[in-house]
Amino acid sequence: MEQELITIIELFATAILALFAYIQNRQKNTIQAENAQVVAFFDPADESVSTAPASVPGRSYKMGTATKRWLTFDHSSEERS
């Protein structure tokens, strides 16, 4: 009886550890997919991602009006748009 109880506890502990490993693996795969989307968004040669992923803050890719005005100061009106 005692040996059977030990075996049941070992099986339960193994199942819990397997569940934790599965959850960690899913989280890792999700993070890798998000990272690939961010890299594709900032890669000028890659056209697969047209909108910023949710994990990218807006301030990292949007230009303020003052900065845009400063950058386009000495350009023609066609180049400014």
31-81: per-residue pLDDT in tens? Answer: 999 898 888 888 888 887 777 777 777 666 667 778 777 777 777 777 766
Q: Which domain holds residue 53?
A: 2-80
Number of domains in the chain: 1
Note the pTM of the prediction, 2 decimals: 0.54
For residues 65-80, one letter each, b for 16 or more C-beta atoms within 10 angstroms of the residue's C-beta and e for the rest, the string is eeeeeeeeeeeeeeee
